[in-house]
Amino acid sequence: MIRNLDFTMMSFGISIIICVHNGALRIAPSLKAISEQNLPLGISVELLIIDNASSDSTASFANEYWNILNAPFPLKIIEEQKPGKANALTTGYNEAKYELMLLCDDDNWLQPDYLKTVIEIFSKYPDIGLLGGYGKAVFNGTEKPDWFDKWENCYVCGKHHSKNGFLQSSDFSIWGAGSVIRKTMWDFLLTNGFSFYNSVEAGKPMTEDAELSMVITFTGHRLYFNDSLWFMHDFRDGRINRKTFIEQQALNGKGNAILYMYLLANKNCKKSKIPAKWLTLITIATLSLRYCWSLLKPFNYPNQIYLFNIIKELILNFSTYTRKAKESSVWIKKIKHTYPLAKFKT
């Protein structure tokens, strides 16, 4: 039974989830920032570290360092041996015991009032589908690339919305880092057949956050952005350069092809008279026009790479995405505007 929220209940709380692969050398500042959170009285918190097939000392270091920080709330380390960010994330969401589940990457340093602000926002708007904020880049000791400011949104940095509040129904841009989802929402999605399509294999994460954001909107709930929810994003190890940026844009393009599959599946739910394969072809043609238009804009190569790889992915896996759209329409139809909390008031 899905329950209504009572924010005065002692059992209500926040589960902080860190999915990490070989993060022993970078996780310490993230843990320190979490330990220094200004929490309202009576709010329970747990920290879950999902060790995703690490080959270093991530688990032992995190446990020892958390004790050095006087362990302000319980830490649970869970092993997920199957590589892939989505596998670790699914494990974290499934294992969390509190209603609000906050995703924090191992290179994110939450501002001191992050958890307090999350509680305040959900107290006012308990029907939020997914809550998110933004990052502020840290390059101490490492030179910031001259192109970074223009493309910082690609690294979940910079305010990507002009105002706080609910996003438009067609806007799925809540970043995974720092995002908060209700456990009842997650359980509802899983019960009705959702599972991640992206980031389920070894390699760099690919847009599982955009995938989840879009699926949540199908329940009838909207996404919410608040610029008080910010965190420092650590780039001090010099891992950002033009080459890795272009590679990331290619991966993002490949990963975001799934969003167009979901849009096709949503149209199938509406009993579109256009066959699925023709809808896929129309989507490819529309994206191709956008790509051609992008070629006319100067200094736009990263966006061109992004669009090109969406198109490439849809073409090379045309039959797969057409079939997936049909299959996904079954569970999307189940979740569309039926999430029980839509009927509740606090």
Write down the pLDDT at residue 65. 97
> 13-240 sits in which CATH class?
alpha beta
| Cα 210 from Cα 173, distance rounded (Å) | 7
- The residue written with tokens 């790509």 in the block is 291
Sign, CA dihedral 326-330-333-335, equals: negative
- 3-class secondary structure for the chain? CCCCCCCCCCCCEEEEEEEECCCCCCCHHHHHHHHCCCCCCCCEEEEEEEEECCCCCHHHHHHHHHHHCCCCCCEEEEEECCCCHHHHHHHHHHHCCCCEEEECCCCEEECCCHHHHHHHHHHHCCCCCEEEEEEEEECCCCCCCCCHHHHHHHHCECCCCCCCEECCCCCCCCCCCCCEEEHHHHHHHHHCCCCCCCCCCCCCCCCHHHHHHHHHHCCCCCEEEEEEEEEEEECCCCCCCHHHHHHHHHHHHHHHHHHHHHHHHHHHHCCCCCCHHHHHHHHHHHHHHHHHHHCCCCCCHHHHHHHHHHHHHHHHCHHHHHHHHHHHHHHHHHHCCCCHHHHCCC
Distances in whole angstroms, Cα of residue 105 to Cα of each of 20, 29, 101, 108, 166 = 7, 11, 13, 5, 24
Q: What's the angle, vertex CA 90, arms to CA 19 and CA 30, rounded to 5?
A: 20
Long-range contacts of 168-173 (CB under 8 A, 24+ apart): 169/217, 169/222, 171/223, 172/210, 172/213, 172/214, 172/217, 172/223, 172/259, 173/210, 173/213, 173/223
**Model pLDDT, residue 274:** 72
- CA pair distance 130, 171, nearest whole angstrom: 12
pLDDT (0 to 100) of residue 279: 82
Q: What is the pLDDT along the chain (346 residues), one digit of tens a residue?
A: 333 444 333 347 999 999 999 999 999 999 999 999 999 888 999 999 999 999 999 999 999 999 999 999 999 999 999 999 999 999 999 999 999 999 999 999 999 999 999 999 999 998 899 999 999 999 987 889 999 999 999 999 999 999 999 999 889 999 999 999 999 999 999 999 999 988 777 666 678 999 999 999 999 899 999 999 999 999 987 788 999 999 999 999 999 999 999 988 888 776 666 777 888 899 999 999 999 999 999 889 999 999 999 999 999 999 998 888 888 999 999 998 777 654 333 3
- Partnered with residue 76 across adjacent β-strands are 48
Backbone angles phi, psi at 116, to 5 degrees: -60, -40
CA distance 16 to 264: 34
Query: For the chain, which residues make up each domain, given as ranges?
Result: 13-240, 247-335
Residue (of 262, 20, 226) closest to 120 by Cα position: 226
Provide the pLDDT for residue 273. Answer: 67
